[in-house]
Amino acid sequence: MDTLDKRSKIESEITKLTDEENEAKTTGEFDDIPPPPNGIYKNIKELTALIKEFVQLHGYAIVTKRTVTGKSVTYKSDRGGNPEQNQRKGDTCPPPRVTRLINCPFSALAYFHTKVGHWKFKVKNPNHNHNHTLEPAAHTANRRLTKELYEEMKKLGNAGLKPSAILEELKKTHPDKSILATLSTIYTARKKAQQELLQGISPILHLSRTLAGSDFTAATKFDDNGELKV
């Protein structure tokens, strides 16, 4: 399936989901979506991976709501919350008309059991106020790159590969993983990586430093105040 067909399928699934939810809100009937089973895990990485795999197979997605490093992680549905809650104080712009946030009540908690040295997962609220999806990539949370894939993406980008080639290479080198990222995902990740690279430095100064450490010959000009000339 090519990129256009895949994007069309995702958009179709989102439209279908919205129509079904509008009907469900009228009747008050939603799919019976199973919650992840409560359980015990060796570490938080294993716990998160298995729980996200479970919810993906059952047509929904979860995201991290709050983390206390080494102690606990609170999860919520990727459709939990609403745009008004996410607005910054003093922001006068109206919330977006189209949003996936519909105050889904699902929530779960993972916490570290100090005495026995393992992580315990427990569903706090198993309910949803929406139907499940047939296309996992319809959820933004499922399209995000893992930390490992993000680091690989940065290396491939620094090597000069274009976003389409980066995405193709990631899928090629990880055939065992279900990578749902799209071109938009890679573009967004590349932008984030570039912002991290700048770390508050102006783009011009960053370019100057990059050229100085390369094989290119570059001359930097300053004004009378010692500022870089644009």
Q: Which SS3 state, helix, strand or coil, does residue 58 take?
A: coil
> Is 62 a member of any domain?
yes
Indicate the pTM of the whole model. Answer: 0.60
* pLDDT tens, residue by residue, 109-148: 999 998 889 999 999 999 998 888 877 777 777 788 888 8
> Is 118 a member of any domain?
yes
What value does the mean pLDDT take over residues 81-85? Answer: 70
> Is 148 a member of any domain?
no
CA 127 to chain centre: 22
CA distance readout (Å), 85 to 22, 91, 101, 127, 224: 22, 11, 10, 21, 49
| Integer Cα distance of 64 and 57 in angstroms | 18
> Is 80 a member of any domain?
yes
- Higher pLDDT pick, 103 / 215: 103
- What domain range is 127 assigned to? 28-88+99-136
What value does the mean pLDDT take over residues 207-215? Answer: 64
Q: E strands, 39-187, where?
A: 39-41, 62-68, 72-77, 107-113, 118-125
Q: Among 15-24, 49-58, 139-148, 207-216, which stretch is predicted with the lowest mean pLDDT?
A: 15-24
> Is 79 a member of any domain?
yes
All residues at 6 or more sequence positions from 197 whose CB lies less than 8 Å from its CB, including other chains = 206
> Is 116 a member of any domain?
yes
> Is 172 a member of any domain?
no
Q: Which of 8, 4, 14, 2 is nearest to 142 (CA)?
A: 14
All residues at 6 or more sequence positions from 76 whose CB lies less than 8 Å from its CB, including other chains = 62, 63, 65, 104, 106, 107, 108
Phi, psi of 12, rounded to the nearest 5 degrees: -65, -40
Question: What's residue 171's pLDDT?
Answer: 87
Q: pLDDT band at residue 88, thresholds of 50, 70 and 90?
A: low
- Higher pLDDT pick, 18 / 165: 165
Q: Which SS3 state, helix, strand or coil, does residue 109 take?
A: strand
* pLDDT tens, residue by residue, 3-47: 555 555 555 555 555 444 444 443 446 768 899 999 999 999 899
Question: What's residue 104's pLDDT?
Answer: 92
Judge whether 9 and 75 are in contact, CB under 8 Å.
no
> Is 76 a member of any domain?
yes
Give percent of the chain with pLDDT exceeding 70. 64
Q: How many domains does the chain have?
A: 1
DSSP class per residue in 78-90? TT-S-HHHHSPTT
